[in-house]
Chain A
Amino acid sequence: MVHFTAEEKNAITTTWGKVNVEETGGEALGRLLVVYPWTQRFFDSFGNLSSASAILGNPKVKAHGKKVLTSFGDAVKNLDNLKATFSKLSELHCDKLHVDPENFRLLGNILVICLAEHFGKDFTPEVQAAWQKLVAGVATALAHKYH
């Protein structure tokens, strides 16, 4: 189980409060598909993914990114109980979506990079460390029900 210090919790919730979930979600998913093109394998039905601008402008990518990041908001509200929070989603990603959990780590890291882009110098090494702990915790929670 992941334990967050009071400082880490504060860093996470303060940052999260300033995040535009719709915009950042679309950006994070878009960057995942651009930087790691093999991840496009899960999104054959999304239409035009032929270039970076096509991906980042793709309405299905934006909508799905928003959905994913909104769900991430549950993590921020349940820092002490990530496994239970993502139990159902873990089953879904294993049984229906068949997503290799390594992809959760990739997306988590891309999210951290998007946050760094938005917050600039305020995204200090310590703030980064708190967020890395969270994205790693979410990735583990999402992989927990795999069988």
Chain B
Amino acid sequence: MFSAEERSHIVQIWNYLSGHEAIFGTELLQRLFTVYPSTKSYFPPLIPGLELTQMQNHGEQILMAVGVAVDNMYDLRTALSGLADLHAYSLRVEPTNFHFLIHCFQVMLASHLQSEYTAEMHAAWDKFLTNVAVVLTEKYH
């Protein structure tokens, strides 16, 4: 499903993010909530004074799940089965929102890596996150 080259790009990007899940997770949610305010409807209300902590906690969770996906990119269905159940039966996030999250993730990576964020890396990461989103929404019907 992923070529050796794509895998290499995906792992390279993850190595950049790994260990900083809370920081990148926070920025990811900051971008998501600022650019697409409707996405806040899926999260507990942001409490004034506590927003940063809330976003750090939740952002970290999301990024750590991305790490699990990277480690299991050739068997996402098995590795993300629990999360797929969660999204299908409990969270029921409207699928368009995954595109918003993926886009904000790309913007975040581009702003940090700048000229190092080649088109090949961008394409590989997009393919990877799109596949993750497909698996997470597979049990919706």
Contacts and interface: CB of A to CB of B under 8 A. Distances in A.
A52 B119 contact: yes
A113 B110 contact: yes
Contacts of A126: 34
**Does more than half of chain B's interface fall in helix, strand or loop, or is it mixed?**
helix
B112 A120 contact: yes
B31 interface: yes
B77 to A, nearest CB: 24
Nearest to B37: A129
Contacts, number: 61
Interface in B102-117: 103-104, 106-108, 110-115, 117
Interface stretch (A30-38, A62-70, A82-90, A91-99): A30-38
Nearest to B115: A117
B67 to A, nearest CB: 22
Given A34-B119, A117-B114, 15 more contacts: A30-B119, A52-B118, A56-B119, A113-B103, A113-B122, A116-B110, A117-B113, A117-B117, A120-B111, A123-B107, A125-B31, A125-B34, A125-B35, A128-B34, A128-B35
